[in-house]
Amino acid sequence: MARALETVWVFGDQLNRKIGALATAKPETHRILIIESAGKIASRRWHVQRAHFLVTSMRRFALELEQAGFKVDYRKSATMRKGFKEHVAKFSPSQISVTEPNSYTARQLVASLKVQTVKSNQFLCHPDDYAKFAGDKKSIKMEDFYRWQRKRHDVLMDGKNGDQPVGGKWNFDEENREPPPKSGHDRWPKPKQHKLDKIDQQVLDDLPSSVFGKKPDGLWATSRADALVRLKYFVKELLPTFGEHEDAMLESNWHLAHSLLSPYLNNGLLLAQEVVDAAADAFAKGNVPINSAEGFIRQILGWREYIWNCYWRWMPEYAERNHLQAHRPLPPLFTNPKKTKMKCVSTILNGVNERAYSHHIERLMVLGNFALISGTDPQQFTKWMWNSYIDAHEWVMVPNVLGMSLYADGGQLATKPYASGGAYIDRMSNHCKGCHYDRKKRTGDDACPFTVLYWDFFLRHEKAFVKNPRVARSVRAAQQLSDVVELKKTAKKILQRLDDGEA
Ligand code: FAD
Ligand code: SF4
């Protein structure tokens, strides 16, 4: 009797032939299991583009594997566990292997089943290596981790011994914080798009009616081939100007020079190594200036890997942290942008509805900042972002939202709260012109909610921050404002309006 095939179980965020257990699988000896869990899809109110992107990518990947000669059990089941059991009952595989999954819950599931776990190579720093790097240090600075990554992966390195950074410094941030240019807002080429096909339509037909947002229009690739087209396009057309206006926000241009590659990096259609290589190669050929190449590579080799490792170091307790005791229920404006007159917030939220995306500074310095200074519950805000963004996965959402954005971890990840008033948003965007509110005012009905709540935040949390060297000045400045009583009254009114869905 022929020996039963071995099974390689592939999760929906490991869609790449080079990842872990799949890398050594062969059509003659292995069958591939991919489970589409109806329970997971129906568990939340997802953005339609996010749900479509993840499911379509899985279905296309299964077809690609079949075309490569594999037998694929693409199993639609009520839950992952049930799908796994059904697979075992049907095929009695001689062995089942799986690459270490990317979420805490999935690792718990895998640990409770009889499967062989293969170490993951999906990231550029495995938690085992990070643990060796961290040793018994209590906190690790991203910058130190990034330099270590640059050296050991030999990226943008120079000098006799190859231990010096190309361009003479590790960090070109100073050149990358320019406000938006006054004109020429169409200078960045538009993102690539493709036509939807029958598979896309089938997935859309299968999604539950609870999804929200604008239906997909081909902005997000759902196959490796299309993701590679987007990588090539980014490196050629946008990477050369990535750095300069990286932190700028424009009403008339939502993408600027951002790569829009995070969804593919996060579900496996692209690998971090090939993205870093493509950028470093373009720099070596003289097509990209150092501030853009270094700025982009730092995001992937540094920030992304750092966040991944923070997740594994601190979970599962981390997801429940609420250091500042912020208990405001998610304000209605997040699910209905019509409920706000704040132009910065409504523009970005309309963009999220339109494409399940906004760029980093919009996430951190507008939406996250607003949730922070309004005292919004960190777990509710995380859940909203997780439901709404094309690139959201627990490992990346939780540290970025709870840690970087909301200071809910008490400073484990970020050494200061990223709180700012209207002045920052006015400097880095063109939203304030024509806004109902006046970003300079901190009292009165038309006072900018960011400006008012920024000061109110430091007054509310003066004890927590007065000894923090990075923000102590803001606390003292808040205490010395001439109109503290009036400002507090205005803050109270704004928070009431926010809860009533009228801010
Ligand atoms: P680019 O600006 O082109 O940057 C290049 C790449 O760098 C990104 O594709 C991403 O892979 C990586 N990167 C940069 N910063 C980070 C970071 N802080 N963490 C992880 N990767 C990073 N990123 C996600 O992938 N998924 C999320 O759910 C997510 N949620 C976020 C929530 C908040 C509140 C904040 C502040 C940041 C979040 N980020 C998240 C990080 C970052 O905002 C996005 O990775 C980035 O905006 C994706 O767009 P892009 O591909 O055009 O990025
Ligand atoms: Fe946002 Fe305030 Fe500027 Fe209006 S004035 S766009 S609310 S920062």
CATH of the domain at 194: 1.25.40.80
Q: DSSP 3-state assignment of 464? A: helix
Closest ligand (CA of 124)? 1
223 and 135 both lie in a single domain: yes
Residues 303 and 341 in one domain: no
Verify that 235 and 131 share a domain, yes or no. Answer: yes
Final residue of a domain: which of 118, 152, 176? 118
Q: Clarify whether residues 329 and 367 are in a common domain.
A: yes
What pTM does this model have?
0.97
In a domain, residue 223? The reply is yes
Atom of ligand 1 nearest to the CA of 359: 47
Mark whether 185 and 252 lie in a shared domain: yes
CATH number at 106 reads 3.40.50.620
Q: Where are the beta strands (DSSP E) in 53-142?
A: 71-77, 96-99, 116-118
Please, what is the Cα angle at 83 between 78 and 86, to 5 degrees? Answer: 120
If we measure between CA atoms, which residue out of 429, 452, 430 comes closest to residue 440?
Answer: 452
Give, for ligand 1, the residue of 400, 404, 406, 413 to mutate: max count of ligand atoms closer than 8 Å to Cβ: 400
Does ligand 1 have an atom closer than 6 angstroms to the CB of 230? no
Ligand 1 center to 243 CA (angstroms): 15
Show which of 118, 147, 162 is a domain's final residue: 118
- Domain-located, residue 105: yes
Distance 398 CA to ligand 1 centre (A): 12
Are 7 and 93 in contact, with CB atoms under 8 Å apart?
A: yes
Burial class (CB in 10 A: 0-12, 13-18, 19+), 118: middle
* Residue 40, strand partner residues: none
Alpha carbon of 454 to those of 215, 232, 481, 482: distances in Å?
A: 36, 41, 13, 16
Tell me: the pLDDT tens digits for 209-230?
A: 999 999 999 999 999 999 999 9
481: in domain? yes
Q: Residue 3: what pLDDT?
A: 66
- Residue-level pLDDT at 289: 95
> What pLDDT is stored for residue 138 in this prediction?
84
With contact defined as beta carbons under 8 Å apart, do 236 and 283 qualify?
no
Distance 438 CA to ligand 2 centre (A): 7
Cβ of residue 261 lying under 6 Å from some atom of ligand 1 = yes
Vertex 262: Cα angle to 261 and 266 (nearest 5): 125
- The answer to whether residues 171 and 55 belong to one domain is no
Tell me: do 60 and 161 sit in the same domain.
Answer: no
CATH number, domain containing residue 447: 1.10.579.10
Q: How high is the pLDDT of residue 177?
A: 83
Give SS3 for 20. helix
**305/356 same-domain check:** no
pLDDT at 175: 84
Cα(344)–Cα(365) distance, integer angstroms:
10
**Binding site membership of 405 for ligand 1 (Cβ less than 6 Å):** yes
Give nearest CA residue, ligand 2 atom 7: 342
14 and 68: one domain?
yes
CB of 305 closer than 8 Å to CB of 145: yes
* Per-residue model confidence as pLDDT tens digits over 416-453: 999 999 999 999 999 999 999 999 999 999 999 999 99
Ligand 2 centroid–CA 435 distance in Å is 6
The two structure tokens encoding residue 356: 């399940």
Give domain status of residue 1, yes or no.
Answer: no
**450 alpha carbon to ligand 1 midpoint, in Å?**
23
Kindly give the parts of the chain with pLDDT less than 70.
1-3
Check if 272 has its Cβ closer than 6 Å to any atom of ligand 1: no
Q: How many domains does the structure of the chain reveal?
A: 3
Q: Are residues 83 and 178 in the same domain?
A: no
Ligand 2 pocket check: which of 426, 430, 446 to mutate, most ligand atoms within 8 Å of Cβ?
426
| DSSP 3-state of 212 | strand
| DSSP one-letter string for 431-448 | -STT-SSBTT--SSTTB-
| Separation of alpha carbons 289 and 48, rounded Å | 37
Last residue of a domain, one of 54, 85, 118: 118
Angstrom distance (rounded) from CA 49 to CA 241: 28
Dist CA 305 CA 301 (whole Å): 6
Range of the domain at 421: 320-500
Q: What is the 3-state secondary structure (H, E, C) of 136-193?
A: CCCCCCHHHHHHHHHHHHCCCEECCCCCEEHHHCCCCHHHHCCCCCCCCCCCCCCCCC
Q: Are residues 394 and 496 in the same domain?
A: yes
pLDDT at 467: 93
DSSP 315-364: TTGGGG--TT---BPPPGGGT-GGG---HHHHHHHHHHHHHS---HHIII
Model confidence over 47-77: pLDDT tens digits? 999 999 999 999 999 999 999 999 999 999 9
Q: Given this model, what pLDDT does residue 494 score?
A: 97
Task: With respect to residue 138, please indicate whether it lies within any of the assigned structural domains.
Answer: yes
| Residue 265 in contact with ligand 1 by CB distance below 6 A | yes
pLDDT at 174: 84
